[in-house]
Chains A and B, each alone.
Chain A
Amino acid sequence: MKMIKKISLVTIGMAGAALSMTANAGTLDDVKARGALSCGVSTGLAGFSQKDEKGAWSGLDVDVCRAVAAAVLGDASKVQYKPLTAKERFTALQSGEIDVLSRNTTWTHTRDTSLGLNFAGVVYYDGTGFMVSKKLGVKSATELDGANACIQAGTSTELAISDYFREKKISYKAVTFDTSDQTRAGFESGRCDFLTSDQSQLYALRIGLADPAGAVVLPEVISKEPLGPVVRQGDDQWFNIVKWSVNAMIEGEEQGVTAANVDDKLANGKPGNKRLLGGEGELGKNLGLNPDWAFQVIKQVGNYSESFERNVGQGSPLKISRGLNALWKDGGILYSPAMR
């Protein structure tokens, strides 16, 4: 009898635990209560999210975390970074371990519609590319028949490359690793003839090689990989906050508002500047944030151009040019919906 009682108690307890696992809607309140944003980033990828010797994170993806923290908490440094491999990232977001995932993640239909997640915009327009050792003398991906490819597991790269080689009717072997370090090590040791990934990441991985000049990135780009931050589905307010924090950086560039001149623009700028920076209108209030939300983003993190050049552009070892990621008026496709 006693045992039965015990079992039923355990049963009720477990059922209760299962019941309490319901979707959590108030991410904004959680973040405010915690006093910090929990942000999922990569385990280490130059230019996008990497940790220095002192433990400080930097990169384009990290700047998205910082922008959201600045908008929500008024302090870009109030971020807890959670390094995640490609395989871990979505589970970490679904389970509520992180508030935002900002880890060079491609916006795909399947991910957007079947994982219970929402993509909050595009921070970097990318595409799958190839990196080969210079020694091989390969000029184009079509010469790679029979080659071995080092790929990271759980990425959209795995799918893109399979499609491409099928279409071209050339064979290859996919050697899939868990982390980017292992993937790079596989390429460096000669286990694979080429490494494939989003092109931006190829540049990032290349500068981590013992001999960066010994590897070349091929001209082919074989897929669309729009990378952006992701949030859980079902919390529209939070979705809006992340989406517009990114847009604030893009709009900042378009309006010529920089970290250096943001105070002046708020005081003496055009009406559009004042609307963006909270001097006029109710944009902050509509998001449930302070009026100075975007002001803090640009003041503490910078506008898109500043962040880009600092992390992956001319001010960084990667020296990636803006290309597609230039503003729409400069020949790129970067475009923020109207800030009004």
Chain B
Amino acid sequence: MFKQKTTEQIKAATRPTDTAAHAFYNNPKYRALIYQILLVTGLLYFFYTIISNTLGNLEAAGIKSGFGFLSNAAGYDVLMSLIPFESTNSYMRVFIVGFLNTILVSALGIFFATILGFIFGVMYFSKNWLIKKLSVIYVETFRNIPLLLQILFWYSAVLASLPGVRDSLSLGEAVFLSIRGLVIPKLIGQGGGSTFVYIVLVLAIIGIFILRSWAKKRQDATGQQFPVFYTSIAMILGLPFVAALLTGFPFVIEYPVLKGFGFNGGITVIPELMALTLSLSIYTGAFIAEAVRAGIQAVPHGQTEAARSIGMKEKKIMSLIVVPQAMRVIVPLLNSEYQSLVKNSTLAAAIAYPDLFNVFVGTALNQTGQAIETIFMAIIVYFAVNMLISFIMNRFNGNVELVGR
């Protein structure tokens, strides 16, 4: 060690003309570091100037700033909220209410869009001319009509022409459909018995996962198949039912009854939520169908032929050979479709659905005048939600990727 150092010193001493090359600012490692420090300082200064300037300008213009307003009472009501909300609650709570409503409509949209997308995407490959054409028509129609128009179509043309509350369409005096939305009976659990049923339901779901991996292992080992799908359905419906019977059905069903201006009791699905879910699902579904079609087309035809040659049925070829390979192409495309759906849900404002954009960036911004703060908070939320989707889909992508080719 000591020796090494001396040789280096000697080397340096023997080359006096090279001192410049050895100066620390010419060392590429230090140089990179210095540039990075400079850049970060520059950026920090940049943001500092922007923020202090904005604050200064706001104050000079007499406009209030800061996040203090979040703890003030909102003073207005919100049409629908998943947590209890009253107008005396704070703007922060409005923010959460709007956020949950955004998550709700996005989750419903993603769920139905995926189902629609896969059904219509696979239909494209049908031998049946009509089915294939249906798929083409679906994709071409709904992908090419602006989403806002579709939302307004469902809301103002379709749902708004439903009968009034008093003349609701009803199904067995239990389910009602009117311009006020869909009202369905509510299952209210009572006491420990109902908790037992819920626990059984959760256990059934866990059981299904265990069953699936067991069946797969068995099939890998012995080639024997197990009817996982039907067993799962039987489990998820049957087990809680048996549990309910054992505990003497510890539930009451609350039927909606028409009283005064609307229905009392039951669960109301507001038409704004219905219209937004419908239009987001159908619109995004068309894009997903395209992604599914592209994914399937990317699977070499030889795969299908090979499967046919060993005598597999067409349906099985699709579900066991083609779609799993197509997923490699489909999943990254799904990721961006899901993110678009979340962003598109902000069109809710057009039809009074109380999403984050509507109740917070819309009304709260207007009542407080604090545009920068409210918009900043909303940007963070949409950014975070989309990062989360991206994270989940990337994990999922890792699962469907071909290992080691």
Q: Are B57 and A148 in contact (CB under 8 A)?
A: no
Which of chain A's residues have a CB closer than 8 A to the CB of B358? 153, 176
Query: Per a CB cutoff under 8 Å, which of B38, B49, B366 touches A87?
Result: B366
Shortest Cβ gap from B404 to chain A (Å): 37
What 0/1 pattern do residues 289 to 302 of B give for CB contact below 8 A with A? Answer: 00000000000000
Query: Per a CB cutoff under 8 Å, which of A4, A166, A182 touches B87?
Result: A166
B160 at the A interface (CB under 8 A): yes
B180 at the A interface (CB under 8 A): yes
Q: Are B39 and A14 in contact (CB under 8 A)?
A: no
Q: Are B366 and A86 in contact (CB under 8 A)?
A: yes
Q: Are A146 and B261 in contact (CB under 8 A)?
A: yes
Which of chain B's residues have a CB closer than 8 A to the CB of A145? 260-261
Which of chain A's residues have a CB closer than 8 A to the CB of B15? none
A222 at the B interface (CB under 8 A): no
In the docked arrangement, what's the CA distance between A15 and B354, Å?
Answer: 37
Q: Are A174 and B79 in contact (CB under 8 A)?
A: yes
Q: Are B75 and A159 in contact (CB under 8 A)?
A: yes
What 0/1 pattern do residues 132 to 160 of A give for CB contact below 8 A with B? Answer: 00000000000011111000011000110
B90 at the A interface (CB under 8 A): no
Q: Give the one of A8, A117, A159, A163 with max B CB within 10 A.
A: A159
B368 at the A interface (CB under 8 A): yes
Q: Are B369 and A147 in contact (CB under 8 A)?
A: no
Shortest Cβ gap from B25 to chain A (Å): 13
B42 at the A interface (CB under 8 A): yes
Q: Identify which of residues 269-289 in chain B touch chain A, using a CB-to-CB cut-off of 8 Å.
A: 271-272
Q: Which of A19-27, A29-37, A322-330 contacts B (4 or more CB under 8 A)?
A: A19-27
**Chain B, Cβ-Cβ closest to A88:** B366
Q: Are B180 and A14 in contact (CB under 8 A)?
A: no
Q: Identify which of residues 75-101 in chain B touch chain A, using a CB-to-CB cut-off of 8 Å.
A: 75-79, 86-88
Given A182-B352, A233-B61, A14-B50 contact (CB < 8 Å): yes
Q: Are B367 and A154 in contact (CB under 8 A)?
A: yes
What 0/1 pattern do residues 31 to 71 of A give for CB contact below 8 A with B? Answer: 00000000000000000000000000000000000000000
Which of chain B's residues have a CB closer than 8 A to the CB of A159? 75-76, 367
Interface size, B (range): 35 or more
Given A153-B362, A174-B77, A191-B64 contact (CB < 8 Å): no
Q: Identify which of residues 346-391 in chain B touch chain A, using a CB-to-CB cut-off of 8 Å.
A: 349-352, 354, 358, 362-363, 365-369, 371
**Chain A, Cβ-Cβ closest to B58:** A116
In the docked arrangement, what's the CA distance between A105 and B369, Å?
Answer: 14
In the docked arrangement, what's the CA distance between A191 and B260, Å?
Answer: 15
Q: Are A114 and B57 in contact (CB under 8 A)?
A: no
Q: Are A116 and B76 in contact (CB under 8 A)?
A: no
18 extra A-B contacts, CB within 8 A, seeds A178-B350, A191-B160, A191-B179: A4-B39, A7-B39, A14-B50, A18-B54, A23-B60, A87-B365, A94-B63, A116-B58, A148-B262, A153-B349, A153-B363, A158-B77, A159-B367, A162-B76, A166-B88, A173-B79, A177-B351, A232-B61
Chain A residues near B (Cβ < 8 Å):
4, 7-8, 11, 14-15, 18-19, 21-23, 86-87, 90-91, 94, 110-111, 114-117, 144-148, 153-154, 158-159, 161-163, 166, 172-178, 182, 185-186, 189-191, 193, 232-234
> Could you write out 21 A-B pairs with CB less than 8 Å apart?
A7-B39, A7-B42, A18-B50, A18-B54, A23-B60, A23-B61, A87-B366, A110-B368, A115-B369, A116-B63, A146-B264, A147-B260, A153-B349, A154-B367, A162-B75, A173-B79, A177-B351, A189-B160, A191-B179, A234-B61, A234-B62
Chain B residues near A (Cβ < 8 Å):
35, 38-39, 42-43, 45-46, 49-50, 53-54, 57-58, 60-64, 75-79, 86-88, 156, 160-161, 164-165, 179-180, 259-262, 264, 271-272, 349-352, 354, 358, 362-363, 365-369, 371
